[in-house]
Copies of this chain bind each other. A is one copy, B any other.
Amino acid sequence: MAAWAERLAGVRGVLLDISGVLYDSGSGGGTAIAGSVEAVARLKRSPLKVRFCTNESQKSRRELVGLLQRLGFDISEEEVTAPAPATCQILKERGLRPHLLVHDGVRSEFDDINMSNPNCVVIADAGESFSYENMNRAFQVLMELENPVLISLGKGRYYKETSGLMLDVGGYMKALEYACGIEAEVVGKPSPEFFKSALQAIGVEAHQAIMIGDDIVGDVGGAQQCGMRALQVRTGKFRPGDEHHPKVKADGYVNNLAEAVDLLLQHTDK
* A binding-site residues for B, Cβ under 8 Å: 126-133, 135-136, 139-140, 143, 157-158, 164-168, 170-172, 174-181
Pair A135/B167 contact, Cβ less than 8 Å: yes
Interface of A is mostly: helix
Q: Which residues of B contact A175 (CB under 8 A)?
A: 167, 171-172, 174-175
Instruction: Write the chain B residue with the least CB distance to A139.
Output: B167
Does the CB pair A158–B139 fall under 8 Å? yes
Find out whether the CB atom of B128 lies under 8 angstroms from the CB atom of A140.
no
A-B interface, 9 closest residue pairs, ranked by CB to CB distance from nearest: A171-B175, A171-B179, A130-B132, A174-B178, A175-B175, A174-B174, A157-B179, A128-B132, A171-B178
- The complex places the Cα of A135 from the Cα of B134 at a distance, in Å, of 14
Give chain B residues whose Cβ lies under 8 Å from the Cβ of A130: 131-132, 135
Within 8 Å CB of A132, what residues of B? 126-131, 167
A171 contacts across to B, CB distance below 8 A? 135, 139, 174-176, 178-179
In the assembled complex, how far is the CB of residue A104 from the closest CB belonging to chain B, in whole angstroms?
A: 14
**CA A158 to CA B143, docked complex, whole Å:** 11
Sample of 22 A–B contacts (CB below 8 Å): A126-B132, A128-B132, A130-B131, A130-B132, A130-B135, A131-B131, A131-B132, A135-B167, A136-B166, A136-B167, A139-B158, A139-B165, A139-B167, A139-B171, A140-B165, A143-B165, A157-B181, A167-B175, A171-B175, A172-B175, A174-B175, A175-B175
